[in-house]
């Protein structure tokens, strides 16, 4: 399929084109403000589907709103009519079209124009009134407040929030792209009316800011956000895309002694903690048991043995483990246990515990296996 995307270098356009290219079965005509204008005529002649994403939202002069959001739409539709091309046309509008301001008026004019075009030509037209869209590749201080906040917090710059109680309606860029792919596939059937936008998240400006600052803090306390919350998951992915390129990595505190080291990697509020344990040759660690805390051990390098003994029994149970075989060993409650390095090199074990370590309530009792 031959697909024309206007506004190809814009926020939505870049994300959409990236996904279209993943599919390998499309010819994509990319048109943006720096594209040779003569190419638009050829694109409109050949296109099987048009994603009209080009628009103006922060011009130097207010007159540019109508020129960009209405004038260019008119030019695009006239070229399609010139070539009798009645392919489907999708247009990106905004909830601002309901408001009495220059930007909203220009968007409303574009909507009216394309609805009239659909009635005149019989072409399928799809009009989306998107609320605030957020996600990777959104320009700070241009596309959205979310982009600006993520950029500033990630770069240790101040942010300004006049009213944290302001309610925001947002859609995530991947949800938008998925919806547009559905439209391309013919799964969006609405014509002569507004198409339903994808999942809308409603949240206050203050809550957004608090979340973004909490993302920054996760590096300090080795935590991860609540990924079961859809908006938090999407916002965290967005925030990470604004990290300075020389700050993708961060250090962890290694607790080192003569036996090796123990390093906390990730803590979660409800899914426990992941740590990395390194044991030197011949070293045994552990010899303790727990009431409620349980763990999973995975040796990823080296070889050793994990021993268990129920605290009221003399029987010792052994599990021999090695990085040559990825095998998880559960550490049940009520069993004292240890792990010994049987090899000539350091043994590396990934350890998960069902709760983050609390020095006030360690639930750990020394007892030799």
Question: Which residues are marked as active site?
Answer: 103
Specify the 3-state DSSP secondary structure of 27. strand
What phi, psi does 253 have (nearest 5°)? -85, 120
Could you tell me the two tokens for 153? Answer: 């917090």
CB 348 within 8 A of CB 280: no
> Which of 13, 38, 117 lies closest to 73 in space, CA to CA?
117
The span from the CA of 160 to the CA of 275, in Å, is: 37
Residue-wise DSSP of 249-316: -----EEEETTEEEEEEEE-SSS-EEEEEEE-TT-EEEEEE-SS--EEEEEEESEEEEEEEETT----
89-105: buried (b, 16+ CB within 10 Å) or exposed (e) per residue? bbbbbbebbeeeebbbb
Contact 269, 223 (CB under 8 A): yes
- Structure letter (DSSP) for residue 98: G
Separation between Cα atoms, residue 156 and residue 337, nearest integer Å: 45
CA distance 311 to 313: 6
Q: Cα(22)–Cα(6) distance, rounded to whole angstroms?
A: 19
* CB atoms closer than 10 angstroms to residue 212: 21
Tokens 């990777």 belong to 136
Alpha helices in the chain (DSSP H): 11-22, 38-46, 63-66, 72-82, 102-121, 145-154, 173-184, 205-221, 230-240
For residue 51 the two structure tokens come to: 């994603």
Q: Is the dihedral of CA 118, 7, 110, 95 positive or negative?
A: positive
β-partners of residue 335 are 310
- Which of 225-238 are b and which e, b meaning 16 or more Cβ less than 10 Å from the residue's Cβ? bbeeeebbebbbeb
């Amino acid at each position: 399929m031959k697909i024309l995307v206007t506004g190809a270098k814009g926020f939505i356009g870049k994300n959409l084109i990236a996904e279209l290219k993943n599919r390998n079965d499309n010819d994509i005509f990319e048109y943006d403000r720096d594209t040779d204008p003569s190419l638009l005529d050829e694109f409109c002649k050949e296109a099987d589907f048009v994603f009209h994403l080009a628009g103006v939202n922060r011009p130097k002069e207010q007159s540019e709103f109508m020129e960009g959001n209405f004038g260019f739409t008119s030019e695009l539709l006239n070229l399609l009519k010139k070539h009798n091309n009645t392919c489907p046309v999708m247009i990106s509008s905004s909830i601002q079209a309901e408001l009495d301001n220059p930007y909203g008026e220009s968007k409303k004019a574009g909507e009216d124009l394309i609805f009239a075009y659909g009635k005149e030509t019989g072409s399928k037209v799809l009009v989306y009134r998107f609320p605030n869209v957020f996600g990777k590749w959104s320009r700070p201080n241009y596309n959205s407040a979310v982009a600006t906040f993520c950029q500033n917090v990630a770069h240790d710059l101040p942010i300004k929030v006049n009213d944290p109680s302001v309610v925001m309606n947002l859609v995530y860029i991947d949800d938008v792209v998925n919806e547009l792919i559905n439209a391309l596939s013919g799964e969006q059937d609405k014509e002569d009316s507004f198409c339903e936008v994808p999942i809308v998240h409603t949240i206050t400006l203050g809550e957004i800011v608090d979340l973004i600052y909490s993302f920054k803090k996760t590096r300090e306390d080795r935590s991860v956000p609540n990924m079961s919350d859809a908006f938090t998951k999407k916002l965290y992915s967005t925030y990470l895309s604004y990290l300075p390129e020389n700050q993708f990595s961060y250090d962890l505190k290694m607790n080192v002694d003569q036996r090796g080291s123990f390093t906390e990697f990730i803590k979660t509020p409800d899914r426990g903690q992941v740590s990395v344990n390194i044991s030197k040759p011949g070293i045994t660690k552990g010899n303790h048991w727990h009431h409620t805390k349980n763990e999973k051990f995975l040796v990823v390098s080296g070889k050793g043995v994990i021993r268990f003994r129920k605290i009221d029994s003399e029987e010792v149970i052994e599990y021999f483990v090695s990085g040559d075989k990825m095998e998880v060993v559960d550490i049940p409650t009520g069993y004292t246990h240890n792990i010994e390095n049987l090899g000539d090199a350091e043994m590396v074990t990934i350890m998960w515990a069902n709760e983050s370590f609390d020095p006030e309530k360690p639930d750990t009792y020394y007892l030799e296996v």
